[in-house]
């Protein structure tokens, strides 16, 4: 009873129960608070005595308009906050994880809609939500009226076989040959990285080599597990294998479509990397985040070929080929690591949400994913073409597009001295989000350029954004928004 009284007092003190609000009658008390009518009446009596509520004859009990002076909380030397693991409070962690947040606040005066050219977004406007809803509902109906049991941490199997669907999907799109037993289903690629970090990083022992520039959220997962991150540069052939420290135990990279630069790793480097791993008892984490979207070039370029299946952890995701909001990805893991990975996944969250697993399994098995990927490949191809032509035609003074055969972003290196940070800030004030290379570096930036993410932006917005960028690069000294709004296609 005392507890209920205190809860109500607290709710009144902090305004959740507003002054003048009518409280439930004591007759409804059992239903609402699980207490007897008499108990409730007693609580109201006390609150009345203490001045928290007022009674109006015949119409009930109301929150008082003027509250009693609340007791000050007892001062205390209690400081549980120092119990927190300081890792999570580092500004670097916030920066790395906040990597998709806005680069600058939107201009309050601007009426233009936002144009988002950040990488790793997708065009959800073109996603067949109705199809996913339909196949999900069908699957869920067939599962109903069964006793709920906790499912396999590794991912769904049996009649609704997500792991088998995944092997079929990557066999066709990426020529990665594996069995359903090799697959561990995860909540997106991010959980895959976290899971791998927790299984592969042994306490203060692991040197993890990462591409620089690279994907910051992956680094956070490994750093959180206690790894020491060593940045390794990239060139036109991808990760510079000779620069990997010999004591690296894990090497993380995106060999098909380096993030964010976009190069594909050469066959020579791939061989050298696998050799390195074998020689040094190291393992490789291959992040293949958008390998479904290939545009010409040499096909079948997953590092995790059959011959390397003992040293490569292949990480895939449905965030790019479907939707990031589903939070579904997977690891193709070597035999020797599976037991540990499954035990860790079990501890992390038992398993991924069943409705999502079932829906995606059906979406793949019934051919909708293949269809959607084919469609989006055409859409993204048109955007790529527009971008490449415009860069070539209008930006050759400043930027040089970096060839890339995969994915939904294209990077361009600066060919002259440019204040790209200032340029992107100017654009951000005009609601155009565009990233420079700089935020993807762990060490000091060695290259400068812009990343054009094509996932979330149609051709007309892309044209407008490129026109605005051209203006900004041409007149770097000018005030931003006013100029842009005056001159062109806004």
Q: Give, as ranges, the residues between 149 and 188 that touch a copy of itself (CB under 8 A).
A: 149-151, 153, 172-173, 175-177, 179, 186-188
The CB-of-340 to a copy of itself minimum distance in angstroms stands at 4
The CB-of-411 to a copy of itself minimum distance in angstroms stands at 21
Residues 437-456 that bind a copy of itself (CB under 8 A): 456
Alpha-carbon distance of 15 to 13, in angstroms, equals: 6
Residues 343-362 that bind a copy of itself (CB under 8 A): 343-344, 346-356, 359
Nearer to a copy of itself, 159 or 202 (CB): 202
Q: How far apart are the first and last CA of the chain?
A: 63
Nearer to a copy of itself, 240 or 305 (CB): 305
Nearer to a copy of itself, 148 or 489 (CB): 148
Given a contact cutoff of 8 angstroms between Cβ atoms, the answer to whether 295 and 377 are in contact is yes
The CB-of-25 to a copy of itself minimum distance in angstroms stands at 16
The CB-of-324 to a copy of itself minimum distance in angstroms stands at 6
Site string for a copy of itself, 291-320 (x = CB under 8 A): ---x----xxx---xxx--xx---------
The correct pick among 60, 231, 334, 445 for binding a copy of itself (CB under 8 A) is: 334
The CB-of-251 to a copy of itself minimum distance in angstroms stands at 12
The correct pick among 278, 375, 397, 474 for binding a copy of itself (CB under 8 A) is: 278
Site string for a copy of itself, 359-398 (x = CB under 8 A): x---------------------------------------
The correct pick among 57, 66, 81, 393 for binding a copy of itself (CB under 8 A) is: 81
16 binds a copy of itself (CB under 8 A): yes
277 binds a copy of itself (CB under 8 A): yes
Return the range that interacts with a copy of itself (CB under 8 A); candidates 57-65, 125-133, 232-240, 382-390.
125-133
248 binds a copy of itself (CB under 8 A): no
The correct pick among 63, 122, 321, 376 for binding a copy of itself (CB under 8 A) is: 122
């Amino acid at each position: 009873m005392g507890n209920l009284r205190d809860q109500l007092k607290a709710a009144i003190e902090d305004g959740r129960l507003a002054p003048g609000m009518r409280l439930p009658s004591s007759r409804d008390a059992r239903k609402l608070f699980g207490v007897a009518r008499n108990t409730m009446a007693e609580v109201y009596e006390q609150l009345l005595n203490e001045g928290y509520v007022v009674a109006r004859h015949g119409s009930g009990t109301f929150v008082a308009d003027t509250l009693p002076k609340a007791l000050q909380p007892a001062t205390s030397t209690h400081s549980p906050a120092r119990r927190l693991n300081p890792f999570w409070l580092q500004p670097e962690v916030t920066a790395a994880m906040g990597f998709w947040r806005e680069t600058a606040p939107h201009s309050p005066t601007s009426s233009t809609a936002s144009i988002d050219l950040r990488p790793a977004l997708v065009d959800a406007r073109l996603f067949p939500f109705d199809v996913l809803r339909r196949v999900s509902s069908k699957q869920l109906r067939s599962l109903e009226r069964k006793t709920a049991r906790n499912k396999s941490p590794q991912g769904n199997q049996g009649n609704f076989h997500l792991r088998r669907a995944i092997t079929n999907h990557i066999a066709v799109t990426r020529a990665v040959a594996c069995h359903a037993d090799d697959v561990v289903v995860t909540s997106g690629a991010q959980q895959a990285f976290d899971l791998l970090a927790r299984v592969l990083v042994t306490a203060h022992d692991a040197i993890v080599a990462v591409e620089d520039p690279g994907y910051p959220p992956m680094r956070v997962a490994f750093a959180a597990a206690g790894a020491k991150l060593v940045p390794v540069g990239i060139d036109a052939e991808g990760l510079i294998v000779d620069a990997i420290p010999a004591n690296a135990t894990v090497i993380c990279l995106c060999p098909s479509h380096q993030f964010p630069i976009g190069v594909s790793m050469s066959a020579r480097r791939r061989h050298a990397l696998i050799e390195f791993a074998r020689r040094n008892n190291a393992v490789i984490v291959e992040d293949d985040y958008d390998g479904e979207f290939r545009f010409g070039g040499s096909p079948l370029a997953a590092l995790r070929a059959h011959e390397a299946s003992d040293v490569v952890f292949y990480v895939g995701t449905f965030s790019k080929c479907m939707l990031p909001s589903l939070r579904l990805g997977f690891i193709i893991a070597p035999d020797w690591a599976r037991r540990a990975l499954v035990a860790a996944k079990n501890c992390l969250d038992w398993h991924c949400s069943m409705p999502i697993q079932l829906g995606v399994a059906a979406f793949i098995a019934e051919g909708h994913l293949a269809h959607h990927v084919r469609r989006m490949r055409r859409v993204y191809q048109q955007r790529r073409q527009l971008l490449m032509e415009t860069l070539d035609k209008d930006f050759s003074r400043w930027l040089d597009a970096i060839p890339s055969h995969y994915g939904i972003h294209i990077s361009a290196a600066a060919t002259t001295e440019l204040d790209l940070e200032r340029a992107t800030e100017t654009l951000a004030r005009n609601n155009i989000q565009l990233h420079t290379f700089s935020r993807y570096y762990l060490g000091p930036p060695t290259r400068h350029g812009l990343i054009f993410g094509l996932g979330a932006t149609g051709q007309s917005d892309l044209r407008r954004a490129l026109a605005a960028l051209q203006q900004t690069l041409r007149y770097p000294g000018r005030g931003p928004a006013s100029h842009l709004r005056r001159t062109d296609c806004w």
